[in-house]
């Protein structure tokens, strides 16, 4: 079924439909949990870390996520080649990421974020110890001295490539999100334009 797409598919939200409920964020975070996908809130032992971000403003709300750019600037900017084109997804290999944040700067949409890493509900520490003067009380265990900063890596939408449909699209209660297949979208638009032209022509011909 994996037909080769010439342009990368991506998910986009319709601000006219979005009600700002954050279901997309929850669904995204749930399916991206490292262990099995949790079914209930009680299984969410790590902080919610979505890969799309609801932006709320006076004009309304809408989630922002990766467009899977052609010749993606984040990938071009990554000094350790952690971001690659994988089929029609721009993919971050978090294990290679050094946290330089260049991708974050390069992304024109703010869709790339450096996120703290957790495992089984506990923060994962980076290798580099904190300078003794920066060490402070109140690490993950009360009373313990925090000697290491938490590890942070680049994170972005992978369009749920392992699933039949991205979790945000499948779970949006308003059907505000959809997967855009650029070629098909363009064909559809042209057909719509042609039909409306034909209608105009008919109207004036009669």
Partner 1 sequence: MKTPIITIDQELCTGCGRCREICPVGAISGMPDTPHEVDSTRCILCGQCVQICSGYDSANETFATSRVERLKQRGMLPTVKEPLFAAHYRGDINAVVAALQQPDTFTIVQCAPAVRVAIGEEFGMPYGTLTPGKLSAALHALGFNRVYDTNFAADLTIMEEGAELINRIKNKGRLPMFTSCCPGWVKYVEDQHDDLLDHLSSCKSPQQMAGTLFKTYGAKLDGIDPAHVFSVAVMPCTCKKFECERPEMNSSGYQDVDLVITTRELAQLIKHCGIDFTSLPDEAFDNPLGCYTGAGNIFGATGGVMEAALRSACEMLTGTPLPSLELEYVRGEEGIRRATICHEGVELKVTIVAGLQYVGSVLEQVRRGEADFHFLEVMCCPMGCVSGGGQPKILLPAQRLEAHAGRKAGLYSHDKSLTVRKSHENPQIKKLYENFLGEPLGHEAHHLLHTDHQQNRRAV
Per-residue binding letters, 151-170, with partner 1 (x by CB under 8 A): ----------------x--x
112 and 155 Cβ atoms separated by less than 8 Å = yes
Distances (CA, A) of 159 to 91, 127, 169, 189: 9, 30, 10, 23
To the nearest whole angstrom, how small is the minimum distance from the Cβ of residue 34 to partner 1? 13
3-state secondary structure of 168: helix
Our CB check for partner 1 shows the closer of 37 and 196 to be 37
Which listed range, 8-16, 24-32, 82-90, 189-197, lies at the site for partner 1 (CB under 8 A)? 24-32
Location of structure tokens 């099995």: 36
Contact window for partner 1 (CB under 8 A) among 17-25, 85-93, 180-188, 189-197: 17-25
Residue with smaller CB distance to partner 1, 147 or 165? 165
Q: What is the DSSP letter of 122?
A: E
Among 12, 49, 84, 101, binds partner 1 (CB under 8 A): 49
Interior angle at CA 108, CA 159 and CA 189, nearest 5: 60
The DSSP element (H or E) to which 21 belongs, if any, is none
Report how many residues bind partner 1 under the rule CB under 8 A.
Answer: 32
**What x/- string results for residues 70 through 109 when contact with partner 1 is judged by CB under 8 A?**
----------------------------------------
Write phi, then psi, for 29 (nearest 5 degrees): -60, -40
Shortest distance (Å) from residue 43 CB to partner 1 = 6
Q: How far apart are CA 91 and CA 94, in angstroms?
A: 9
Q: Rank residues 175 and 206 by Cβ distance to partner 1 and give the closer one.
A: 175
Please state, in angstroms and rounded to a whole number, the distance separating the CA atoms of residues 90 and 98: 18
* Residue ranges that bind partner 1, judged by CB under 8 A: 19-23, 25-27, 30, 36, 38-49, 53-54, 56, 60-61, 121, 167, 170-171, 173
């Amino acid at each position: 079924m994996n037909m080769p797409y010439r342009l990368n598919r991506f998910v986009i939200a319709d601000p006219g439909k979005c009600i700002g409920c954050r279901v997309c964020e929850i669904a995204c975070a749930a399916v991206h949990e490292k262990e099995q996908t949790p079914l209930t809130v009680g299984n969410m032992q790590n902080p919610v870390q979505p890969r799309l971000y609801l932006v709320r403003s006076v004009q309304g709300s809408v989630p922002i996520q990766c467009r899977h750019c052609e010749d993606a600037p984040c990938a071009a900017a990554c000094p350790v080649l952690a971001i690659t084109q994988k089929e029609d997804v721009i993919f971050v290999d978090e294990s290679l990421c050094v946290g330089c944040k260049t991708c974050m700067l390069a992304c024109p949409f703010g869709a790339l974020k450096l996120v703290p890493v957790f495992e089984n509900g506990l923060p994962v520490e980076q290798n580099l110890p904190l300078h003794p003067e920066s060490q402070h009380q109140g690490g993950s265990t009360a009373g313990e001295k925090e000697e290491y900063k938490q590890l942070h890596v680049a994170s972005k939408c992978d369009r749920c490539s392992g699933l039949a449909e991205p979790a945000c699209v499948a779970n949006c209660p308003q059907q505000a999100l959809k997967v855009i297949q650029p070629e098909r979208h363009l064909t559809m638009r042209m057909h719509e334009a042609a039909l409306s032209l034909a209608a105009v022509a008919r109207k004036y011909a009669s």
